Chains A and B, each alone.
Chain A
């Protein structure tokens, strides 16, 4: 049964390696926004440090949002979605592979460039590790929840707005606990509690979202 996940994962990563330019978009957005904040607000490091945790998390969220629309759209257009639905060992495993691949090419790179943003926004040293840890876990939740929105809107022509409306409320807890993890660390408190809550969200998203995605895609196929 893991066969479906591994096969889809490898296929998706191969596809991703053929369109690196497209994949760089969210990442560029992430870095450029961070570069604009000091220009737009204030270059003073005390002000920036205050804003940094929330700012980085908001930008990670927006960058993920940018990458969601094409997740199932191409498969829908070229007929691959039907094949995905006919995966013998249950479509959920194949979908899981797709969503993991999405995280590997968006969430993980966002996490890896976060130190650059932390520097640009003068994040205090105490916040660095919590920032990386919370992004690593939180982007998983962002990818999986986002895939749900992408699956629900796959057959629409311009799904962007609706996708955002569906996904945003579900992103709220992620961003609250994500930035709280960093904030608490900077203030000198233990940051494990918000991180654990974030991890709970991620685990729940990984467990449940593939099932919702399957249901949504099945509905689309039977339209």
Chain B
């Protein structure tokens, strides 16, 4: 296995309060209660896998943690402060990968990463080449992404894991359409991210090999929900 390229941030400063905390959060979608009074704390160096059947509210929970969706009740805190007061810190230390890759087909892999929509980053060409090589897209840098397979598109988005300096990763089904070596790569990246003091919240239907992985079971989405 090739070595991973170095992250831009080697080690995050130590923290004593939880990085992310969901306090008594409830979520309702279309008159259906998905979960109620859910509390989760994520410390630096921790990873949490959200499990649950289809429609159990995994993605909703992740979107609530990202601040994209307002919870029906309860509060989301980043570094101990509610998101409303701390949204700049939260957003600037957040990497959210939704189940759509947010990769533009008419741009090349390089261009997709050079001007990320979030406007925060400006990566060097060299760093992007390194990251693309690490996710197995060496030689594909200058091809328009519409010629890529679904897995390759996702790999372009996954290159952000290497490039970004975000401390909190929210990954919605990161393994979708990814082959076995890709899954191993993501697991290694996640392990390295935890090592440097990052935190991860992810949803996945498959078991994830990550030391110290916490699990949360969402039981909503069934008839008594």
Kindly list chain B residues whose C-beta atoms are within 8 Å of the C-beta of A79.
98-102
State whether B106 touches A83 (Cβ < 8 A). no
**Distance of A7 Cα from B111 Cα, bound (Å):** 11
B216 within 8 A of A: no
8 Å CB contact of A7 from B66, B68, B70, B116: B116
Total A-B Cβ pairs within 8 A: 94
Q: Contact: B92 with A88, CB < 8 Å?
A: yes
With A18-B107, A78-B101, A80-B104 known to touch, is A86 a contact of B115 (CB < 8 Å)?
A: no
Q: Is the CB of A86 within 8 A of B116?
A: no
B14 within 8 Å of A (CB atoms)? no
Interface pair A221/B68, CB less than 8 Å apart: yes
User: Per a CB cutoff under 8 Å, which of B66, B70, B115, B120 touches A89?
Assistant: B120
How many residues of B sit at the interface, in one of the four size bands? 20 to 34
A83/B103 in contact, CB under 8 A: no
- Residues on the B chain within 8 Å of A4, using CB: 118-120
Cβ of B91 < 8 Å from any Cβ of A? Answer: yes
Give min CB distance, B157 to chain A, whole Å.
Answer: 9
A14 within 8 A of B: yes
Q: Quick one: given A3-B122, A79-B98, A79-B102, are A14 and B111 in contact (CB under 8 Å)?
A: yes
Asked whether B117 is an interface residue with its Cβ less than 8 Å from the other chain, the reply is yes
| Complexed CA–CA distance, A97 and B118 (Å) | 11
A78 touches B100 (CB 8 A): yes
The B interface, classified by DSSP as helix, strand, loop or mixed, is: loop
How distant is B147 from chain A, measured CB to nearest CB, in Å? 13
Complex Cα distance, B157 from A80, in Å, reads: 11
B residues near A222, Cβ cutoff 8 Å: 63, 68-70
From A3, which residue of chain B is reached at the shortest CB distance? B119
The prevalent SS among residues of A at the interface is: helix
**How far is B113's CA from A14's CA once the two chains are assembled, in angstroms?**
13
Residues of B within 8 A of A15 (CB): 104, 106-107
Taking a contact as CB atoms under 8 Å apart, the answer to whether A7 and B104 are in contact is no
Which residues of chain A have C-beta atoms less than 8 A from B100's C-beta?
A: 77-79
Q: From the candidates B88, B106, B118, name the one contacting A94 in the complex (CB within 8 A).
A: B118
Contact with A along B137-179 (1 / 0, CB 8 A): 0000000100000000000000000000000000000000000
Contact flag A19-B106 (CB < 8 Å), given A79-B98, A82-B98, A86-B68: yes
Closest to B29 in A: A223
In the complex, what distance in Å separates the CA atom of A140 from the CA atom of B161? 38
- Distance of A58 from chain B, by nearest CB (Å): 32
15 A-B pairs whose Cβ atoms sit less than 8 Å apart in the complex:
A3-B119, A4-B120, A7-B115, A8-B117, A11-B111, A18-B107, A80-B102, A82-B66, A83-B117, A84-B117, A84-B118, A86-B91, A86-B96, A86-B118, A89-B92
Q: Which 7 A-B pairs have the closest CB atoms?
A: A4-B119, A79-B100, A88-B92, A11-B115, A18-B106, A79-B102, A83-B117
Q: A82-B68, A83-B117 are in contact. List 6 more A-B contacts (CB 8 A).
A: A14-B107, A82-B98, A83-B96, A83-B118, A87-B120, A222-B69
